[in-house]
A = this chain, B = another copy of it.
Amino acid sequence: MRTSQYILATLKETPSDAEIISHQLMLRAGMIRKLASGLYTWLPSGLKVLRKVENIVREEMNKAGAIEMLMPIIQPADLWQESGRWEQFGPELLRINDRHNRPFALGPTHEEVITEFVRKEISSYKQLPINLYQIQTKVRDEVRPRFGVMRAREFTMKDAYSFHLSEECLDETYRKMHQAYCNVFERLGLDYRPVIADTGSIGGSVSHEFHVLAESGEDAIAFSSESDYAANIEKAEAVAPSIERPAPSKELNRFDTPNAKTIEELKEQHGVKPHRGVKTLIAYGAPNENEERGLVALVVRGDHELNELKAEKLVLVDSPLEFATEEDIVKATGAKPGSLGPVGLTMPIIVDRSAAVMADFVAGANEDGVHYSGINFDRDVTNYVVEDIRNVVEGDASPCGKGVLNIKRGIEVGHIFQLGTKYSEAMKAGVLAESGKNQIMTMGCYGIGVSRIVAAAIEQNHDKYGIKWPTALAPFELAIVPMNMHKSHRIPEIAEKLYADLQAAGVDVLFDDRKERPGVMFNDMELVGVPHTLVIGERNLDNNQVEYKNRITGEKEVIDLDKAIEVLLNHVKG
C-alpha cells in the first residue's frame, strides 16, 4: 500500500479527550475516529489489526472444535422476558421498538438467542456436546463510554456457547476453551494471565478471566510467585496466617484520641502502627424472617482493606453490602465512625483471619474520641466469628499453597464461564437423553473482547514514539521510507523496485511515497508501529546500500542492495 493512496490519518497532537495511552495512540496512529460517544469508525490500519485478532480467535476456536455461526444483532424482547433478563438487565441493554412498535434489544450477548436456537434444533443427546460461536458487533449502552474502544457502545466480541448433558462433559469443553484462549493470547504475542474469577462452593473453579497485563489495567490480579495460580484481587483468598495468636501481655487501656478518627491519624498522633490496630466497619446484616435488618461489625487489620464481595457472601451480611448510616451506628454503639471497635459491641462481629491472630491491639472504644489499646480476643471480645473478609496484599501466602502473592494490574479481555442450567432451565431447553427422558442441558459460555484486545495490546506494547506491535498484530509488516524521494532520480527507482519485489515475496508493505520530510515519515511509521523499516537514502546508495531498522529492538543494519530482499525477508518472516 502506498501512503499517497491510503488514509494514514496520523495526528501530531494528542486529542484532549483521550485519557489512556491506547486511546491516544489509536487516534494518533489513525486507527480509529470517534463518530459519537462510544461509537468509533475503524480506519484502514485499525481494521487490519482488528481482523488479525479476529482471525487468530477464529482459527483457535475452530481448532478446538467450536463451530461458527452468526446470529442477528436485533433480538426479540420476548426471549429476554423468558430468561428474566429483560427486567434484570439495566439500561446498558439498548431497547428499541420496530415500526410496528414491537420491542427488541440490540444484543450485548446472545445467551437467549442461542438457547432458543438450540432448543429448536437439538433434540437428542446424540447431537451433544456442541459448541457454537460467532464473531460479531455487539451493543452495550454504557452510561459513560470512555477509553476509546476499551469501553465503547459498539464493539466486536467473540461469544461461544456450549451445550452438554453432564457437568463432566461441560468440564471437558471448558478445559478446551481455556486452552484455546491461552493459544489465542500466545499467538497474539501478549503477556496475559488466566485468572480465577470465582470459586464455586463445591470447590473447583467455574469461571476464569483472561487478563492482558498492563500498568493501566483496571483490575488488580494476585499471582503466586511459585505456581500458575492467579486470581482477581477481589476474588483471591487471603489464607489464614499460619502463626498462632500470641497470649495477651497487656491490660485493656483506655486513652483519649480527640483528633484521631483514622488509622493514619492514630499513627501520627499516638504512634500506633497500622498493623497493630484494627478497623471496625458497620454494615447491615442479612434480613430476618420479618425482613428486618440488624447491624453487623466487620473487623480488619488497620493496614488491610475490607473486601466487600467476600463480606456480602457471608450469611450474616446483607447482599449487596450496604454500610450503616451514621445515625444507625450512633444508635447501636453510642459512637460515631472513627471511634468504633469490637469491645462491648452487642451486634454480631466478623473478624478477618489476619485480625483474629492479633494480640494487644488498638481499636476504638465506641465512645467518641476514645480508643483502647491492649485489646485481646476471647478476653475482651468474646462474641465473634472469623472469616476471610479482606483483600489480599503483596507478600500474602498464595492460596495454592506455593509461594507468596504478587500483585499486577490487568485488562480483562476474555471470560469463560460454566453457566450450568441458568438459561436452559428458564427457557426449558432440553433434549431426549439416552434414558428416553427429557433432560435440561448444561451450558458454558466463552467470551473474548476482540476490539478490546487491540487496545489492551497497545497498553502493553508502546513507547513514547508510538505503538510497538507484536508481529501477529501489526497493520503492516514493513515500511519503506525513501528519503527526499522527489529530489532524486535513483531513489524512487530503487524504492519502487524493492516495493514490487517485497510485495511479490508476500510481505505486507507500507510504501511511504508522500512528499514529506524524512523526520515526518519516520515519526509516522514509529507511531503506526510498523515493526520493520527499510530506509533508502542518497548516502547509503552511494555505497549501493540501504538501511534496516527494527521498531521493537531499535536495531539498525546497513545492507547491500543486492542482498536487501533476502535480509529483509529474514527479518520479517524469520
Contacts and interface: CB of A to CB of B under 8 A. Distances in A.
A504 interface: no
Contacts of A121: 7, 9, 33
A302 to B, nearest CB: 41
Contacts of A33: 117, 120-121
A35 B76 contact: yes
Nearest to A143: B99
A96 interface: yes
Contacts of A71: 35, 41-42
Contact of A72 (B41, B113, B132): B41
Interface stretch (A62-70, A202-210, A353-361): A62-70
B47 A139 contact: no
A3 to B, nearest CB: 10
Nearest to A110: B41
Contact of A113 (B41, B122, B126, B153): B41
A47 B68 contact: yes
B117 A41 contact: yes
A309 interface: no
Interface in A48-77: 50, 65, 67-76
Given A33-B120, A65-B5, A153 B41 contact: no
- Copies of the chain in the assembly: 2
Nearest to A45: B69
Contact of A75 (B35, B44, B137): B35
A68 B68 CA distance: 23
A318 interface: no
Interface in A140-199: 141, 143, 153-154
Contacts of A9: 121
A425 B165 CA distance: 61
A117 to B, nearest CB: 6
A130 interface: yes
A323 to B, nearest CB: 27
Given A7-B121, A116-B35, A132-B7, A68 B96 contact: no
B72 A40 contact: yes
Given A7-B67, A137-B137, A74 B132 contact: no
Nearest to A142: B99
Contact of A74 (B7, B39, B69, B130): B39
A347 interface: no
Most central of A33, A72, A104, A116 by chain B CB within 10 Å: A72
B72 A154 contact: yes
A116 B154 CA distance: 19
A40 B76 CA distance: 12
A255 interface: no
Contacts of A99: 91-92, 94, 141, 143
A70 B156 CA distance: 11
Contacts of A494: none
A42 B70 contact: yes
* Interchain residue pairs A-B with the least CB separation, the first 3: A42-B70, A39-B72, A91-B99
Interface of A: 4-7, 9, 33, 35-36, 39-44, 46-47, 50, 65, 67-76, 91-92, 94, 96, 98-99, 104, 106, 113, 116-117, 120-122, 126-127, 130, 132, 137, 139, 141, 143, 153-154
